Amino acid sequence: QVQLVQSGGGLVQAGGSLRLSCAASGRTFSNYAVGWFRQAPGKEREFVAAIDWSGGRTYYADFMKARFTISRDNAKNTVYLHMNSLRPEDTAVYYCAASTLFPRTAGRSYDYWGQGTQVTVSS
């Protein structure tokens, strides 16, 4: 079992930054790739970014790779999503998820999910 606990969401003005955290239980966290997804009101869930087991490889959705950075610290069992130059259209619930495969952009490829955290960007 892997439990993912998210933090770092909130309200931010357009152009601002936020860092989301995804903390995992256990010492086997390094066996999992981690992805970030988001879901805005009235829209389907979409892939944001993923990072491999060691943190040496990353994969981003094309429309956000210039503004978002994914990283991980396996010593802390934590994956981060640093978001810069935020826009109102970034407003969504953000989820982290763990997978034994990399890279994967479909939610069905992920075995464990965090509880989600709200990010709201004001104009």
What is the predicted pLDDT for the residue at 4? 95
For residue 63, report the phi and psi dihedrals to the nearest 5 degrees.
-80, -5
- How far apart CA 1 and CA 106 sit, in angstroms, is 21
What is the predicted pLDDT for the residue at 25? 86
Q: Which residues lie across from 12 on neighbouring strands?
A: 121
What is the predicted pLDDT for the residue at 91? 97
Q: Which amino acid is at 66?
A: A
CB 9 within 8 A of CB 118: yes
What is the predicted pLDDT for the residue at 29? 79
**Low-confidence residues of the chain: pLDDT under 70:** 27
Q: Is the dihedral of CA 71, 119, 85, 64 positive or negative?
A: positive
